[in-house]
Homo-oligomer: A and B are copies of this chain.
Amino acid sequence: MSHTLGIRQAQKQKTRQALLDAALGLLEEQSLSSLGLREVTRAVGVAPTAFYRHFRSTADLGVALVEEALGSLHPMIRTTVSTTGDHEERVTRTIELIARHVDGYPAHVRFIARERHGGVQPVREAIREQLDRFAQEVRDELAKDPVSQGWTGDDLLMLAHLYVDQMLSTASLFLEALESPGEEREERERQVARVAARQMRLIGLGRRHWLD
């Protein structure tokens, strides 16, 4: 299926990616609704009008960024939730994975947290769509677990949403810890991991006693 792009298409993808990267960098200290098209092109080193060859507007670029930040995350979610082992083990592994992802893609995480409730409607919707998909996937994995016997699909979905929200909230806290002055950082990361682990453990307890 993979068609080798012509030199032309390849160059276009390259500048497009440069625009996305530059925008993501600029969004570390402002929100999308204040991001200017000229600002982005200036950072890349292309003419302002070149922007239109790739995106209709900055809102459009924002939607593309959502895809980039969350689109490739679905397989990761599925495997994380479905890994075997006892509950305690799964909790620590999930949190470790979140921490690693935040370390690897801090700008993406910040972007999602910021624009989830941000001022640009199409971007908000794109994020909500992706998160809803996450919740559905988590529910599907939870359904396979023997603990879920007797649960209604509705209840499984509400638990899945709780997990997804919890994961995103934890990611955001890891991000804050990441921005701490050097010496405090590790300590704050450990504390975030500790609190998050106990919260997930508590939710897991509620889950096990749901049908009492």
A residues with CB within 8 A of B: 27, 29-34, 110, 113-114, 116-119, 121, 155, 158-159, 161-162, 165, 169, 172, 195, 198-199, 201-210, 212
Contact = CB atoms under 8 A, between A and B. Distances in A.
Contacts of A208: 209
B205 A210 contact: yes
A198 B207 CA distance: 11
A119 B158 contact: no
A205 B208 CA distance: 9
A202 B198 contact: no
A205 B198 contact: no
Contact of A202 (B30, B165, B210): B210
Nearest to A112: B117
B158 A199 contact: yes
Copies of the polypeptide in the assembly: 2
29 contacts: A27-B119, A29-B119, A30-B119, A31-B32, A31-B33, A31-B34, A31-B118, A31-B119, A33-B33, A34-B34, A110-B117, A114-B117, A114-B118, A117-B172, A158-B195, A158-B198, A158-B199, A159-B199, A162-B199, A162-B202, A203-B203, A203-B206, A205-B205, A205-B209, A205-B210, A205-B212, A206-B206, A206-B209, A208-B209
Contacts of A116: 117
A30 B58 CA distance: 13
Select the residue from A110, A204, A206 with max chain B CB neighbours within 10 A: A206
Contacts of A33: 30-31, 33-34
B117 A113 contact: yes
A165 to B, nearest CB: 6
Contacts of A172: 117
